[in-house]
Amino acid sequence: MGNPAMRKRSPPERVILGLDPGVAIVGYAVVREAGGVLSLLACDVMRTPAKTPLEDRLLSIYEQTCQLLATHHPGEAAIEDLFFGKNRTTAMAVAHSRGVLMLAVRQCGLPVVTYTPSQIKLAVTGYGSAGKGQVGRMVRELLTLSHVPRPDDAADAAAVAICHAHTTAWRSQLRKVNT
């Protein structure tokens, strides 16, 4: 067997919550990483009713997130950064949602890391400008699923969790090389 200190240890199991912020729909995915293998524990969306005041929608997102955290007990969380398109009003509402998500995660004492859409696409597909279809197919492959999670927001949240798993593994390896 040799020196026990010299044996390669498998990385500990991690449970990662990936979040794709929105107001009407928030995508979430809970991914387990054990021994370098990713598996999907949960993947769906949280919805808020249309024509409901923003503050009530944010409260609903907060409560649903707290329930999700209590159910799955992730140890880490990752969230997609905002992409400001043409509609600034929508972007502001999504920013509020993102803040609520981050608050709920931090109140549980979890670290939360943010990734840009390009970083997520790059980590999942190898191409920072990949389309939604390509990201979805890679999510299916990387998590060995029979189909791409639906709706797109759920698949996007899974991509966020995968990005976090890959990025932190890469950073860990880089630290080992530099020490």
Query: Would you please indicate which residues are annotated as catalytic (active-site) residues?
Result: 20, 80, 153
Q: What pairing do the DSSP bridges indicate for beta strands 14-20 and 76-80?
A: parallel
**DSSP helix/strand/coil, 25:** strand
Answer for the pair 157, 136: CB distance below 8 angstroms, yes or no: no
> DSSP per residue over 157-174, as a string?
HHHHHHHHHHHHHHHHHH
Q: What pairing do the DSSP bridges indicate for beta strands 37-47 and 76-80?
A: unpaired
Provide CB contacts within 8 A for 93, sequence distance 6+.
Answer: 23, 54
Q: Number of H helices and number of E strands within the chain?
A: 5, 5
Distances in Å between the alpha carbon of 76 and those of 25, 73, 150? 21, 9, 23
Token digits of residue 56: 């009530």
**DSSP helix/strand/coil, 41:** strand
